[in-house]
Structure 1
Amino acid sequence: MTNKGAREEILRLFRQREEEFVSGEELSQSLGVSRTAVWKQIKLLRDLGYVIEAVPSRGYRLATAPDTLIPAEIQSGLGTRLIGREVVYFEETDSTNVRAHELGESAAPDGTVVIAEHQVAGKGRRGRQWVSPPGVNLYTSVLLRPDIFPRFATQLTFVSAVAVARAIEDVTDLKPRVKWPNDILIGGKKTAGLLNEMSAETESINYVILGIGVNLNMSSGQFPSDLRYPATSVALEQGAPVSRLDFARALLRRLDHYYLLFLEQGFSQVISDWENLCDLMGMTVEVDCQDRIIRGRAEGIDEDGALLLRLPDGMRERVLAGDVRPV
Structure 2
Amino acid sequence: MRGKLLQLLMQTSDTFVSGQEISERLGISRTAVWKHIEELRKNGYELEAVPRKGYRLVHTPNHVTKAEIEAVLSTNRLGKNIVYKGEVTSTQALAHDLARSGAEEGTIVVADEQREGKGRLGREWHSPPGTGLWCSLILRPDVPPQNAPQLTLLTAVAVTEAIKEATSIDASIKWPNDILIDQKKTAGILTEMQSEPDRVQAVIIGMGINVNQQMEHFPDELLSVATSLSISSNQQTYSRAQVIAVILQRLEHWYDEYLKNGFTKVKQQWEKLSVTIGKEITATTVQKTIRGVAKGITEDGVLMLRKPDGDIEHIYSADIH
TM-score, normalization: structure 2?
0.90
Whether the 8 Å contact between 1:23 and 1:58 is mirrored in structure 2 is no
Of 96-105 and 66-75, more deviation after overlay is shown by 66-75
Calculate percent identity across the aligned residue pairs.
42
Query: CA shift at 1:63, angstroms?
Result: 3.3
Which residue of structure 2 lines up, in the alignment, with residue 295 of structure 1? 291
The code of the aligned residue for 1:293 comes to: T
Query: CA shift at 1:52, angstroms?
Result: 1.8
Deviations 1:32-88 (A, max 9, x none): 8x94x8656533421321012334466544333212212222223522122112111
Whether the 8 Å contact between 2:292 and 2:308 is mirrored in structure 1 is yes
Task: Within 5 Å, give how 1:86-105 maps onto structure 2.
Answer: 86-105=81-100
- Note closer, same or farther for the CA distance 1:229–1:198 as it changes in structure 2 (3 Å cut): farther
Whether the 8 Å contact between 1:137 and 1:215 is mirrored in structure 2 is yes
Query: CA shift at 1:25, angstroms?
Result: 9.8
Alignment partner of 1:279: what SS? coil
- Note closer, same or farther for the CA distance 1:76–1:10 as it changes in structure 2 (3 Å cut): closer
Which residue of structure 1 lines up, in the alignment, with residue 79 of structure 2? 84
Using the alignment, how far apart are the partners of 2:175 and 2:148 within structure 1? 16
- Note closer, same or farther for the CA distance 1:305–1:228 as it changes in structure 2 (3 Å cut): farther
Is the aligned partner of 1:21 residue 2:18?
Answer: yes
Unaligned runs of 5+ in 1: 1-5
* Alignment match of 2:264 (pick from 258, 262, 268): 268
Is the aligned partner of 1:183 residue 2:178?
Answer: yes
Of 15-24 and 194-203, more deviation after overlay is shown by 15-24
Is the aligned partner of 1:73 residue 2:68?
Answer: yes
Using the alignment, how far apart are the partners of 1:284 and 1:138 within structure 2? 32
Whether the 8 Å contact between 2:72 and 2:241 is mirrored in structure 1 is no
Of 212-221 and 279-288, more deviation after overlay is shown by 279-288
Root mean square deviation of aligned Cα: 2.4
The code of the aligned residue for 1:169 comes to: K
* Alignment match of 1:286 (pick from 282, 289, 303): 282
Deviations 1:135-157 (A, max 9, x none): 11111111000000000000000
Using the alignment, how far apart are the partners of 1:12 and 1:177 within structure 2? 32
Using the alignment, how far apart are the partners of 1:17 and 1:205 within structure 2? 44
Is the aligned partner of 1:238 residue 2:233?
Answer: yes
Task: Within 5 Å, give how 1:50-61 maps onto structure 2.
Answer: 50-56=45-51, 60-61=55-56
Query: CA shift at 1:177, angstroms?
Result: 0.8
* Alignment match of 2:313 (pick from 299, 317, 323): 317
Is the aligned partner of 1:49 residue 2:53?
Answer: no
Alignment partner of 2:230: what SS? helix
Using the alignment, how far apart are the partners of 2:19 and 2:128 within structure 1? 36
Whether the 8 Å contact between 2:298 and 2:304 is mirrored in structure 1 is yes
The code of the aligned residue for 1:268 comes to: T
Which residue of structure 2 lines up, in the alignment, with residue 257 of structure 1? 253
Using the alignment, how far apart are the partners of 2:18 and 2:58 within structure 1? 10
Whether the 8 Å contact between 1:23 and 1:60 is mirrored in structure 2 is no
Is the aligned partner of 1:277 residue 2:281?
Answer: no
The code of the aligned residue for 2:306 comes to: R
Using the alignment, how far apart are the partners of 1:205 and 1:49 within structure 2? 42
Using the alignment, how far apart are the partners of 2:242 and 2:35 within structure 1? 28
Query: CA shift at 1:282, angstroms?
Result: 1.8
Is the aligned partner of 1:137 residue 2:132?
Answer: yes
The code of the aligned residue for 1:266 comes to: G
Of 106-115 and 184-193, more deviation after overlay is shown by 106-115
Whether the 8 Å contact between 1:100 and 1:142 is mirrored in structure 2 is yes
